[in-house]
Every structure is written in structure tokens, then in C-alpha cells.
């Protein structure tokens, strides 16, 4: 069911958005050579506890997950692009890591993701992150009252295809509210003018993610982490936004 939020409810969602942004800012700044993924997850866990927030991940067990996620942060490294399950791995020079985080504050959820490079930057990784960021920005710009879901999808895919990246539509954006995942689904490819109409009060997560040389993914043996089938690297960017008469509000904007 698609739910529209009142202006007062959108204001109530702002603390969750700010908290999720704060966690991603802090965790991404701590992602350095030699840091263990479990240490990053523990940092996010500490911030959740200190804030009195609730993790949207730790007990999450959808049909595509082998078991409850069990961690509070997704850490997808190099050829992993989504749902990376934190494990005993120390980041190495040149790693590309995508960090995805969602949590509830006062009953409202926000969801966001960012990709960063640890240490020495490969030009192809810098380009991948830059294109994914521009695709997110294009999707947000298209999220205006009176437009359609397909306008967001078309804006994202236009940026990706112009850069030579193919697009997987198995996973994409989604509604956000009292729970992390709701309707409508926001695919990263689609036709402008098609799909659900965007109305003021709709709160959604827009999340383009691309792989360097494929759009095919496989689930890791951990039952969660999604990796490219050809070993190429991936990037993932995401914001939770609210659609209003005056344009989209980015609830998870980072300083």
C-alpha cells in the first residue's frame, strides 16, 4: 500500500534522516586502510544505541536473505555492490566500499547509502562513483509533484547508459515510512511518463547502483552479499526524499 505523509509527518521524519546521514558521514570517514568491516558495523551500532534509535537491518529477513541480517550496516566491498554482510575483513589500499544504512528514530525510518574509495583511487572507480552520484541527483531532480515514477527511472538510466553502464532492475528504490521497504518500487530503468504518479507527501528512497562491466549479480555464500558475476566493481548511492509542492526534500542530506 502506498501512503502519503502530511507536512507535519514529513517534519517528524527529519530527525531520522539527519541521524542516518550522521552515521554514514562518520562511518565513511572511518573507512581506512586496515580498518575491519566489523569495526565499522560496531561503530554504527554504538551510534544507534547512543541515539536511542532502532536498526532497520539487524532482524531484517526478506525472502531473498538466507537468514536475519544480524548486523546494522551493509558493507559491500569491490565486486560486492548490495547487501554486503559485515565480516572479518580489513580494508586494503584501493578498496571501493559501499556503505548502506537504515534506522528508525521515533518510529520513522530513513535509508541512505554512499560509496567511497579507501586509499589510492583508481580512475575507473572514481568515474563509477561520479556517474552513480550524478544518476542519483538526476533521479531526485525528476521527483517532482505531477511526475511519474518512470520519470525518476528514466532520469537515472539516461545517466548510466550515457556513461556506458548497463542496469539491473532486480533491486532499486522504494517507499519509506514506518518501515524500511514499502511501495512504490522505484526501478533504475524505465520509461518517462509511466508508472505511479508522484504526489506531495510521498516519501521514497532513490538508489542507483551500477557495476563497471555487467548488470548481472550473484548471491555470495554468506546468503546476503550481492556480487557482480564477472568480478567488476560496483557503486551504490541512495537518499530518502520527500516529494512536496515545492520540490523534493532530501531528508538524508549529508553535511
User: Residues within the annotated binding site for substrate?
Assistant: 83, 181
- Residues making up the binding site for a divalent metal cation: 100, 111, 174, 207, 238
> Could you give the C-alpha distances from 183 to 58, 174, 179, 241, in angstroms and in order?
21, 6, 11, 14
CA angle 118, 172, 240 (to 5 degrees): 75
SS3 65: coil
SS3 250: strand
> Which helix H or strand E contains 132, and what residues bound it?
helix 123-141
SS3 45: helix
C-alpha cell at 75: 558493507
- Residues making up the binding site: 83, 100, 111, 174, 181, 207, 238
**CB contact at 8 A, 90 and 34:** yes
> Could you give the C-alpha distances from 87 to 13, 77, 121, 144, 223, in angstroms and in order?
31, 11, 23, 39, 13
SS3 159: helix
32-62 burial, b at 16+ Cβ within 10 Å, e below that, comes to eeebebbebbebbbebbeeeebbbbbbebee
> Could you give the C-alpha distances from 174 to 37, 145, 152, 212, 213, in angstroms and in order?
26, 17, 12, 24, 25
Amino acid at each position: 500500500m502506498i501512503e502519503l505523509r502530511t507536512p507535519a509527518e514529513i517534519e517528524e521524519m527529519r530527525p531520522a534522516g539527519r541521524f542516518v546521514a550522521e552515521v554514514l558521514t562518520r562511518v565513511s570517514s572511518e573507512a581506512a586502510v586496515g580498518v575491519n568491516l566489523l569495526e565499522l558495523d560496531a561503530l554504527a551500532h554504538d551510534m544507534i544505541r547512543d541515539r536511542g534509535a532502532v536498526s532497520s537491518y539487524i532482524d531484517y529477513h526478506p525472502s531473498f536473505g538466507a537468514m536475519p541480517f544480524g548486523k546494522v550496516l551493509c558493507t559491500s566491498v569491490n565486486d560486492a555492490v548490495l547487501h554486503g554482510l559485515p565480516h572479518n575483513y580489513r580494508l586494503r589500499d584501493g578498496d571501493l566500499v559501499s556503505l548502506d544504512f537504515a534506522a528508525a528514530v521515533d518510529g520513522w525510518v530513513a535509508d541512505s547509502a554512499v560509496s567511497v574509495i579507501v586509499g589510492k583511487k583508481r580512475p575507473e572507480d572514481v568515474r563509477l562513483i561520479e556517474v552513480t552520484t550524478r544518476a542519483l541527483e538526476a533521479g531526485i531532480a525528476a521527483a517532482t509533484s505531477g511526475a511519474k515514477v518512470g520519470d525518476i527511472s528514466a532520469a537515472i538510466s539516461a545517466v548510466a547508459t550515457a556513461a556506458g553502464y548497463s542496469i539491473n532492475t532486480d533491486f532499486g528504490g522504494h517507499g519509506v515510512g514506518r518501515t524500511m521497504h514499502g511501495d512504490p518500487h522505484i526501478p533504475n530503468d524505465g520509461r518517462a511518463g509511466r508508472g505511479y504518479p508522484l504526489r506531495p507527501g510521498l516519501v521514497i528512497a532513490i538508489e542507483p547502483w551500477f557495476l563497471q562491466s555487467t548488470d548481472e549479480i550473484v548471491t555470495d555464500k554468506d546468503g546476503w552479499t550481492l556480487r557482480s558475476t564477472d568480478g567488476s566493481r560496483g557503486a551504490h548511492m541512495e537518499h530518502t526524499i520527500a516529494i512536496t509542492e515545492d520540490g523534493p526534500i532530501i531528508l538524508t542530506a549529508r553535511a
